[in-house]
Each structure stands twice: as structure tokens, then as C-alpha cells.
Structure 1
Amino acid sequence: MFRRTRRLGVVSALAATAIILTACGGSSPEPTQTSVGEPDPAATLTVGLVLEPTNLDIRHTSGAALEQVLVDNIYEGLVTRAQDNSIEPRLASDYEVSGDGLTYTFTLNEGVTFHDGAALTSADVVASYDAVRTDESLQGNAEFATVESITAPDEKTVVITLTEPNQNFLFSLTGPAGLVFKNGDKTDLQTAENGTGPFVLQNWSRGSSITFDRYADYWGEPAGVAEVVFEYIPDFTAGVNAALDGSLDVLTAVDPNLAPELESSGEFTLTTGRTTDKATLAFNNAKAPLDDVRVREALRLAIDHEGLIEAVGAGEPLYGPIPELDPGYEDLSDAAPYDPEKAKKLLAEAGQEDLELTLTIPSFYGTTVPQVLISDFAKVGVTLDVNPVEFPTWLEDVYTNKDYELSFVLHVEPRDFGNFANPEYYFGYDNPEVQGLYTQALAETDAGASAKLLAEAARLVSEDHAADWLYNGQTITAVRPIVSGFPEDSINSRINLAGVTVAGE
């Protein structure tokens, strides 16, 4: 849904894999840095992160912080996603989808065991997925709404049958909904784990760090390091200081304003990665005066997006609801070019020359974006009042009760265009044509044809000015030269560390 972060344009590092999985082993990230010296299999990798999980139960708890460290490292699904968000096999050696898009057949890899030593069978997959399908308290339950049955013809085969085609179903299996757990396991997932991934949980020091050890009996290629320590440092300056004093091998979510300090030290290589983070200026489409498309368009035309990105320090222009890494993306900059004079005319036509609006924003986002918006809107005669609130208040007032005019939040989930096809979502946007195109896109069995339908729907949303997408977020990561293979892109989704190595002394 959205992402908590203390500064705009910077996100906690999460990553996915980058090499297509073969039938005989697990996947690992494509190296993005060249290490100095030979990899040391006994090494410890220390990674600085921002957002710590509240508990480790990824089945019942949502949030980027859990996916960030648990998916692909501790837990695995039948499929996973690469850094470019393409789908690849994981616990499944291969899979087939029927021509009508209703039947998915997966073949499990050989030799997969849970961390307690029990062998993975198709019964574990069936039990895991049936639970998601029938238990509304489990993450991904809504994504299994079209699942009719999950069966296991034998110990190595799983067949999932849908009631109707769903272009997003396979992708949904790359998230928490698709993770596989041991049938009947009594592990307390809030504090412990029993996955199939290349690492096991060694220790969680709440408020400080989480430590993983290499799983010696992993079914695929063994992890490249013996131990991973995730250090949670919510303050960005403190994170940079920890990196510079030698406490960290990798620092994620580097504040763009602090990046030069790391780069000039000569101790780190900085990478800028793509994400599906959509810095969304939400309009309450169901509330006057935002129910007038002229007002919404005027607000978008008043924003100098390039100037805002420069102020934020990281990001790429985004003028529509679909980012570059998602199906259906196209450049929609023509829908809302910077044009303050036209904005003034539209406001005059709408009888809103002296408009005053309130921006409700979670306080941890800081003041950069509000300050830019205040300045840009003032130039077209719009007074913007800023109401910073604590995140629980934002959830209650904006997300749940829809009691707001303008809001800002970073929506990070991939393939979440469906929010604009849902009139009950907090945007209050109700367009039957968009809803119809989205329904067709999901039912379309051809991925290319589905993407075209999504692009058509996204253009309608942008030309309707249902929101403004201030920028597509980027993540800056600082990596020591001794580290190789640390992912760059999509690290708002998860960090797959299996293929990361650290050079010896």
C-alpha cells in the first residue's frame, strides 16, 4: 500500500533477485560491484537499514520491513521476482499455465528441506495456500479470491485452479501470499521461523539488529557469507556515521543530501536503484472542490516536478499511476506539463481563484515536499496549509475515514494500479471505464495485451487528474568495495542476499 520513510526520495533497501532461476538451484542477485580480493565464505555482512519489523510473523503482519529481510532469505515461494520485477521459479523447478489462464501446474525442486530438517512436499504447499485462500487474517487472502482449488497429484506437483483468469495471480505468488510454510508447524512466527531459505534466524535484538546464519543444508547454492547482521538505524545521519566509522559494509536508504559525504570518503561505491515507489499527492476526488477536474488539473499544472525532484535529491519524473518497472508503463508527461498560467485560468473557470487547501501528511516525511508545494501553489493563487500527523492518525483520518483534501504518501507496492479501479479506496476516484479496462486487463491471458489495457486505463486516470505523481522514487545504497553482488533495483521489495559475498582480508 504505502511506505513509511523519514525523508522523501529515500527508501529502506529491499531487493529481489536478478538472474533467471534454473531447474537445479536457487537464484542470487546479479553482482553490481566488483569485490576486492577473494570471497571469504566465513565472512559476516553487516547491512544498515531504516525500518525495523514490529514482529517476524510475515503471514499475519504487513509491511515492507518484513519482506525486506525475510522473503528469499528465510522464506521462499514457488516463484519469486527479479530486480526488474519479472517472475522466475524458486521452490518450483518449473511451471506451466494453461492456455485459458485457469490452471497453474508447478513442479517442486528436489532436496528442499525446512530449517528443522523436514523435507518439503506438495502437501506443505497445498496447506500453505489453502490457508491463505480461506483465512482472511492471512496476508494475501484477497489475492486468492479467484482460486477455486489447490491440489497435489503427487509429492512433487501442485496444481492451482482459478475460477477466472487473473493476469496478476502469478505475481501475487512472489509476495507473502505465495510463501510456503511447513504443514502443521507450531513455530511462533512472531519471534522464530522455519523456512526453506538460504539463511536461518540466529538472533533478534529488538530495537537494534537481526542476525541470520547460513543454512548449511540449503537445497540450492549455499549463501556467499556465513552471517548477515541487519543493523536498524532510523536516523539517516547516524547511519552515515556508522558507515564511516567502519560499523557497516552496506548502508541502504542513503539520504541524497548526505551521499556526497560517503562518496568523498573513498570507502564506498554509491548505487542508485529503480523502484516502484510512487510519491503520490492524493486528491480527495469525492470532496469539493477536488471533485472538479479543472481544480485537480490546475494543481498538477502548478507543480514544477523537475524542481521538486531536485529539492528532494533523488527520483525520476512520473506523471501517471504506473511506474517504469510495472506492466502498462508509458510516459504520460504530456498529461500535466508545468504550466502555471494555464493553472490560473482553470482555477478561474472553476471559480476557485482564492482557493485554500490542506495537505495532510505523515510527519516522518519531513518538510521538503510540503515546502515546494506551498511555493508552487502560491504562484497560482492557492494557499496550502500543511497538517503533519502521526502515522496512526493518517491511517485513521485519511486512509480509513477519507477525511482529507490533499495528502502525500509513498505508495511502494508493485502492480497496485487496482487502487484507481476501486472507488472505495481513499482516493475516492470512481471511473467505470477505468474499472472496466482494469477488469479486462486482469482477465487477459496474454501479458502484452494486458499491459496495453493497463496503459490505456492509466492514461485515462492521468488525464482525469485523479492524483499527482510527484516522482518515481529511487534508492541510494552505499557499498564497500569488499562487497560484491549487493542488489541495486527494486530494493523496496526485498534484499536477496544469497549471492552476496565479502572479500577476505
Structure 2
Amino acid sequence: MTTDPASAGGTDQSLEELGAANASKRKRRNITIGVVAGIVVVGGAGAATAIALNQPPADPTSEVTFAVQLLPDNLDIRTTSGAALDQLLIDNVYEGLVSRDASGKISPSLAKEWTVSDDSLTYTFTLNPGTTFSNGDELTSADVVWSIEDLIDNERKDFEALASIDTITAEGDETVVITLSTPDPTLLYNLAGRPGLVLDEDADNDLQTTAIGSGPFLLDEFTAGDSVVLTRNADYWGEKAKIGTAVFQLYADTNAILNALNEGAVQFGAVDKNLQAQIADNDAFTLEEGFASDKFTLAFNNKAEPFTDVRVRKAVRAAIDHDAIIEALGGGKTLYGPIVDSDPGYEDLSSVAPFDPATARQLLSDAGYADGLDLTLTVPSFYGTTVTDLLTSQLAEVGITLTVDQVEFSTWLNDVYTNHDYQLSIVDHAEARDFYNWANPDYYFGYDNAEVQALWKEATTATDEATYAEKLKQAARIVSEDAAADWLYNPTTLVAVDKRLSGVSVDSTSSRLDVTAASFTE
């Protein structure tokens, strides 16, 4: 594979979700649209959406194919890790009380409105009337209560995000009341993600291969390692989808997507900036930049030597020329801390770890490695070599010999993520507002700092957004000053958008690809 990390999907949540890389091409009767699933990304600040002007009415029977680079091994959104599940199913098939856009703005979904008490401890949600699941069952407040209680009681995926909930009760069929033990400024944001999804209590379907939700699309077909097919829910309780079928087809990398774009098989797809000349003259497309929360992170195993020594961690950081990485990738942003500039708590931390090879050599000498240090970087094989080659040469300049061990993703999951058996690793943490990983000493980073954990607790019990952001900012600075990892870059992905397509945002599509407003005109 020639793809570099900026154009390969991945992420903290992409854990356990990487499907086979090569997509078998399928003949389909209408137009296809491609989007890269685990990558897109950064750039401008606002939702960038393709707009089709002066076009005929959209065809609600049209079939649209989105090219993705990650697919889940199964569809169980309650237990299976992986950003691809969130990306493909949330809002499209499953819904929560509220929804959110790429910038984190909260909007109504199953709940048409809600109120918050003066002490920020009681949230009262009023459901839209007439909501139903795709199997025809009525969706009531009892389903909301059961879904959240089941998540918490059985410790399903991301249940910790709702730890502030004390009680949840149904008052009639259309009112849900949530009381908190402490204020929680992240509650609505978390309810707009996996923890807040509402499932049918009476359904007995196999969640690994089927999905019964309340969204505007139905799950029609799931082929592990190949594709997910959604069809328009003609009985949807809200505004109907504007396309008939959405196909999410797996592609190996952005090179494969670029070929599909130019072949006319794909109308919406991420383009490697270094290869954009190959499509720039194609009049069928516009090129759009979006923003994303992706953080390509050089993880240190903080619980294993030599990274138990802060001097070694700081030496590695000082040896890395982040500007050179951005130049090699053809775009993106430097990143020197665990929070991107579109998330609460961001601060420019470039002064914490400037490129300084001389300081790196001195730190290594002080730590007892004046004669050199051998390190192993374990990285999923679907990442390319652009960044790892740069790191190898940059670290060599300060006396560090880096051995790059490219492994199958299943091996990475077992050895690095689960068993924490590694020295260095690279992964794309794509999720927004995921600072909680740095407050969890059991996470694969192995980072354990009581002050950071205390600040995280203060942030998540704040009664206002300003305090929440300030506490996160303080905690993020400590994490960076402690050299808990190195944040290599915040990637930028260029997206080619067919001029006939509208209603699909190019922002943060690696974590959420909402096609409910997608519209295509011939």
C-alpha cells in the first residue's frame, strides 16, 4: 500500500473495525458516490457542503455509493468498537434524543424539545409524536428509558459517558426525565452519540447482522469486508430521505478512490493532496476542504521502559520536525497537544515541544542513552510509509534507531490496544472531544496523572461551557508538558464532490457520515 496515514482510515474508535482492504466492484444501476470513511478532514471551519444549483428535482429513487476505507466486522453498535459504526449508522439508521453536527452543535432528533433546570441537574425531553421503529413498533419514552438503562446496567460501549445520570424515568409516552448526580456539560453531546441511541425493547433481532432503528434509512444488506447497503425508509416518521439507496463500498486507499473518481464510478471521495493534479481538471467535480477532529498520535507506552522516563519522552518529541511532516503530506496542521482547534479546551502548545535536536540528544544522554537507543514502532499495516520513514530519519539524527513493525490490524488490536505490549505506535484518534482517554490510566497509553484526572472530573461536572473548556485547557497543557505522547498532525483531506450532489457535509466524515439530506440530480 502506498497510502500514508493522512489518507488511511483509522482511529481510536476504528479499533476492531477494519475490513478487508480491497473492494469487489459491483454493478449498480444508478450513479455512485464515494466518500472516504476513516479519513477526511481538516481545513476550514464551517460545514462545507456540496451545493447543486439550478438542477432538476432530486430523484428519491436514485442509488448513491459512498466509497469508504473502513467497515465494521459486525453491526452491533452496543458492544463493538469502531468509528465506522457511528459513521454509517448514527442518524441514518439509529437515532437518539438529540443529534449533533460536525462542529458539535446540538439539534433535536427524537426529542422535539427539552428543558434544563436552573441547577443543571434535571433534563426533561419531549418526544416527537408518532415516532416508530423500522419494524413498525411504536417508539415511546419507555424505549428511551430502557435503552439508556440497558446501556448503563450492562456496561455496553461508551456507557461511562453517561456516568452522571442518577435516574431516568418515563412520564407518559412522550416525556423522558433525566436527573443527574452532578452537573454534566457533556450530557447532550454524549446523548447525540452511541450512548443516547434508542433501540426497540421488544425487538429480538441479531444486532451483529441486522439493525432496527427509527431513522430515515433501513439496513438492506451487510457484507463484512465489502459493503453496507441502506435503503430509503418510506414509512419514516420525519422528513423522508431524498435518495433511494445509499451504498457504502469498501476501497483499499485513496489511490483506489481516485481511480474510481476518474472512471466515473464515484462522485464523492477523498483525494490525496499530493495527487490532486490527477483530478483537478475533471470538470465533473468541485474540490472541497472540510475540518475534522483527527489526531494522528505517536503513542508512548508510559508504563514500559524507556518511556517511564520523562526525559526519553521529551527527547523523542524534540527530535520530531512537525513542519516537515506537514510538507511531506501536502497539507494538514501541526498539533502539539491532545485537543484540536475545533474542540473546547484547545490551546496552541507549539512552544511546549519545539523541534530541537540538540536538546533531544542532551535529554537522551541525561537519561543514560548517550550511546544511542533502540526503539520499535508498531503500526497497523494499512498506514503507509511517508510518516514512518520521516520519523525513522529524524530520530536517527539524535541517536535513536527506530525499527518499524507493520502488523495486521487484528494483531495491533491484540498486542497494542488490548495487551499494551509495545513501545511506540501510531494511530489516528478521529473522535472529537476524546480527552477522557488521557484521564484513564487503563487506556493503552498507560498515562496516569492524578492532577489531569482531577481536572477532567472538574471539567465534566462544570455548570457552564466556559469552565468546562478552561479545565480541559489546563489538563491538556499538563499532558503535553508531561510528554505523554507526540501529536504528529491534524490531517487535511481534500474531497472531490460531483457538481450534481448536495446535502452531504465534508466535515469530520471519519466519525459521522450523515446522508439523510443527500440529494442527487441527473
Using structure 1 for the length normalisation, give the TM-score: 0.91
Tell me which residue corresponds to 1:500.
Answer: 518
1:394 positional shift: 1.9
**Structure 2 matches for 1:41-440, cutoff 5 A?**
41-42=59-60, 43-136=62-155, 138-251=156-269, 253-353=270-370, 354-440=372-458
CA distance in 2, matches of 1:393, 1:294: 30
Paired AA for residue 446 in structure 1: D
Q: Give the match's secondary structure for 1:154.
A: coil
CA distance in 1, matches of 2:200, 2:421: 43
Conservation of the 8 A alpha-carbon contact between 2:38 and 2:511: no
CA distance in 2, matches of 1:105, 1:315: 41
Q: Give the match's secondary structure for 1:106.
A: strand
Conservation of the 8 A alpha-carbon contact between 1:209 and 1:231: yes
Unaligned stretches of 5+ residues in structure 1: 21-28
Tell me which residue corresponds to 1:12.
Answer: 38
Tell me which residue corresponds to 2:32.
Answer: none
Q: Give the match's secondary structure for 1:275.
A: coil
Q: Give the match's secondary structure for 1:263.
A: coil
- State percent identity of aligned pairs: 49
Q: Give the match's secondary structure for 2:316.
A: helix
CA distance in 2, matches of 1:202, 1:452: 45
Conservation of the 8 A alpha-carbon contact between 1:85 and 1:490: no
| CA deviation map 1:54-93 (0-9, x unaligned) | 2222123221111111111111100111121222221111
Conservation of the 8 A alpha-carbon contact between 2:459 and 2:472: yes
Conservation of the 8 A alpha-carbon contact between 1:475 and 1:491: no
2:478 to 455, 460, 465: 460
CA distance in 2, matches of 1:396, 1:199: 34
Conservation of the 8 A alpha-carbon contact between 2:74 and 2:224: no
Conservation of the 8 A alpha-carbon contact between 1:132 and 1:177: yes
Conservation of the 8 A alpha-carbon contact between 2:242 and 2:516: yes
Paired AA for residue 3 in structure 1: S
Paired AA for residue 93 in structure 2: I
In the superposition, relative to structure 1, how do residues 203 and 257 fare at CA in structure 2: closer, same or farther (>3 Å)? Answer: same
1:207 positional shift: 4.0
CA distance in 2, matches of 1:13, 1:71: 17
In the superposition, relative to structure 1, how do residues 409 and 30 fare at CA in structure 2: closer, same or farther (>3 Å)? Answer: closer
Tell me which residue corresponds to 1:26.
Answer: none
CA distance in 2, matches of 1:212, 1:450: 38
CA distance in 2, matches of 1:56, 1:211: 12
**Structure 2 matches for 1:28-39, cutoff 5 A?**
31-35=49-53, 37-39=55-57
Conservation of the 8 A alpha-carbon contact between 2:504 and 2:518: yes
CA distance in 1, matches of 2:170, 2:88: 30
Q: Give the match's secondary structure for 1:365.
A: coil
Using structure 2 for the length normalisation, give the TM-score: 0.88
Tell me which residue corresponds to 2:25.
Answer: none
1:233 positional shift: 1.7
1:497 positional shift: 1.0
Q: Give the match's secondary structure for 1:468.
A: strand
| CA deviation map 1:174-222 (0-9, x unaligned) | 1121111122112233232221111122333444333222222323222
Instruction: After superposing the two structures, state which structure 1 stretch, 454-463 or 383-392, moved more.
Output: 383-392
- Equivalenced residues, count: 487
Instruction: After superposing the two structures, state which structure 1 stretch, 234-243 or 423-432, moved more.
Output: 234-243
CA distance in 1, matches of 2:294, 2:363: 30
CA distance in 2, matches of 1:423, 1:211: 39
CA distance in 2, matches of 1:243, 1:420: 39
CA distance in 2, matches of 1:30, 1:240: 20
In the superposition, relative to structure 1, how do residues 209 and 72 fare at CA in structure 2: closer, same or farther (>3 Å)? Answer: same
Conservation of the 8 A alpha-carbon contact between 2:287 and 2:495: yes
Instruction: After superposing the two structures, state which structure 1 stretch, 381-390 or 140-149, moved more.
Output: 140-149
Unaligned stretches of 5+ residues in structure 2: 1-11, 22-35
| CA deviation map 1:121-158 (0-9, x unaligned) | 1111111111111112x322222333222101121110
Instruction: After superposing the two structures, state which structure 1 stretch, 153-162 or 418-427, moved more.
Output: 418-427
CA distance in 1, matches of 2:67, 2:158: 28
